[in-house]
């Protein structure tokens, strides 16, 4: 039956493309209706009937035996949930540094709820009762926006060996792990990575990073370079990225 095979193949392709959704909703009928609608659209849907289970699945911190690496492309949260409510759940997911798109569902329709929902880091808010087509359309739009943003971040990222700097997110990873940089350290590294191999004198760095009104001395630059080396280099005393060019200044790479 070639037709069935093709349809199944298309469906599998869609599932891979459309992504995995976590749905946290305590009302069984709504939960099942949404899960069915999204599954039919080609999403893989995992459900939780209370906030605790939702948190467990979203943050992979609890006792569930889901394989490591279970990540969601979209999370749908009901506001009123047993144990952990939707707003707290949203807050906790964001606190983990997870930027997955979150859609909040609520029986309440007040402006305040909507604002609070968006303030705790939700991306969109839908008031019950809603139609399944509306829900599916919102999910699709959220996923599209998120993928677009991810793609843009990837395109503008500056890479050098195992260091990646994402200018729009003010984020740096070293060997695939996020590192914490101060705003000055970030700007120095961004300047260096935008001009590989270029030698910068201390005065030029002060001018570019601290501005012409800076009253301190050039030792400030050395201190920041030392801090950066401690965060970037495998062995800060033998730097491989941030190199000293004797008599001139510093260069990257």
Nearer to Ca ion, 91 or 146 (CB): 91
Nearer to Ca ion, 25 or 123 (CB): 25
Query: What SS3 class is residue 74?
Result: strand
Nearer to Ca ion, 80 or 132 (CB): 80
Shortest Å distance, C-beta 62 to Ca ion = 21
* Residue 1: Cβ within 10 Å count: 7
Instruction: Note the helical H segments in 157-215.
Output: 183-194, 202-205
Distance CA 219, CA 24 (A): 54
Shortest Å distance, C-beta 26 to Ca ion = 5
Contacting positions for Ca ion (CB under 5 A): 26, 78, 80
Nearer to Ca ion, 73 or 78 (CB): 78
Shortest Å distance, C-beta 122 to Ca ion = 15
Write out the two tokens for 45.
Answer: 């849907």
Distance CA 41, CA 15 (A): 9
Write out the two tokens for 91.
Answer: 């807050």
List C-alpha distances in Å: 157 to 134, 170, 202.
35, 10, 26
Strand pairing partners for 252? 242
- Residue 122 parent element (H or E): none
Shortest Å distance, C-beta 189 to Ca ion = 46
Nearer to Ca ion, 128 or 159 (CB): 128
Shortest Å distance, C-beta 80 to Ca ion = 4
Nearer to Ca ion, 38 or 105 (CB): 105
Residue 93 phi/psi, 5-degree rounding, is -65, -45
Shortest Å distance, C-beta 105 to Ca ion = 8
Shortest Å distance, C-beta 44 to Ca ion = 23
By beta-carbon distance, which residue lies closest to Ca ion?
A: 80
Contact by Cβ (8 Å): 120, 94? yes
Nearer to Ca ion, 48 or 225 (CB): 48
List C-alpha distances in Å: 57 to 65, 75, 150, 235.
10, 10, 23, 38
């Amino acid at each position: 039956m070639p037709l069935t095979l093709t349809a199944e193949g298309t469906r599998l392709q869609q599932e891979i493309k459309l992504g995995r959704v976590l749905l946290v909703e305590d009302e069984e009928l709504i939960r099942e209706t949404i899960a069915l609608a999204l599954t039919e659209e080609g999403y893989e849907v995992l459900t939780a009937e209370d906030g605790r289970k939702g948190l467990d699945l979203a943050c992979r911190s609890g006792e569930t035996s889901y394989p490591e690496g279970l990540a969601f492309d979209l999370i749908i949260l009901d506001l009123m949930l047993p144990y952990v409510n939707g707003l707290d759940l949203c807050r906790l997911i964001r606190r983990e540094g997870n930027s997955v798109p979150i859609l909040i569902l609520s029986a309440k329709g007040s402006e305040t709820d909507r604002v609070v929902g968006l303030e705790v880091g939700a991306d969109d808010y839908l008031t019950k009762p809603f139609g399944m087509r509306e829900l599916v359309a919102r999910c699709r739009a959220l996923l599209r926006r998120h993928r677009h943003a991810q793609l843009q971040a990837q395109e503008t990222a500056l890479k050098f060996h195992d260091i990646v700097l994402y200018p729009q997110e003010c984020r740096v990873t070293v060997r695939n792990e996020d590192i914490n940089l101060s705003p000055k350290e970030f700007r120095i590294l961004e300047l260096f990575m935008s001009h590989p191999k270029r030698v910068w004198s201390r005065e030029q760095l002060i001018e570019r990073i601290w501005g012409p009104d800076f009253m301190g001395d050039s030792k400030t630059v050395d201190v920041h370079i030392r801090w950066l080396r401690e965060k970037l280099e495998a062995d800060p005393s033998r730097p491989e990225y941030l190199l000293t060019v004797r008599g001139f200044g510093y260069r990257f790479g």
